[in-house]
Amino acid sequence: MVKRYANLALVYGIAAMVFGVFYREFTKFSHFTGKTNLSVMHTHYFLLGMFFFLMMMVIEKVFAFSDKGIGKTVVVYQVGLNITGIGFLMRGLTQVWGTQLSRGLDASISGIGGIGHILMCGSMIILLVKIRKTAK
């Protein structure tokens, strides 16, 4: 699992850099100078992606907490992170393009981000409980 966490950290680190460049170049190309949710994708993927999996790698090395079910929990975490990222991307693109959203569509985009956060939160709690049990 240590190598898997290292690989995931690398993937999310690269994704964070790509989203940072995309934000900068897309807003410059679109002549957009306001605030947009695209700006936080970079930091979210660095912290909740790369840094999270770097920490998981270290914690796995110290406590060896992984068992059979941990892979599913990690997948759910990644699904949640990427659903959240899709929510940020959709919101950010509509902000840059100046799209007027109906109340329903606006709520739908917020709901997508919320579902991603719920999945991340649930899987993170499961991971923390497993770590706590092995740390005793």
Distance of CA 13 to the CA centre of its chain: 11
What is the pLDDT, as a whole number, of residue 69? Answer: 86
Domain boundaries, the chain: 2-128
Question: What is the pTM for the complete model shown?
Answer: 0.92
What is the pLDDT, as a whole number, of residue 21? Answer: 97
pLDDT tens digits for the chain (136 residues)? 899 999 999 999 999 999 999 999 999 999 999 999 999 999 999 999 999 999 999 999 999 888 888 999 999 999 999 999 999 999 999 999 999 999 999 999 999 999 999 999 999 999 999 999 998 7
Residues 6+ apart with CB under 8 A from 16: 41, 42, 43, 44, 45, 46, 49, 50
What is the pLDDT, as a whole number, of residue 66? Answer: 87
What is the pLDDT, as a whole number, of residue 102? Answer: 94
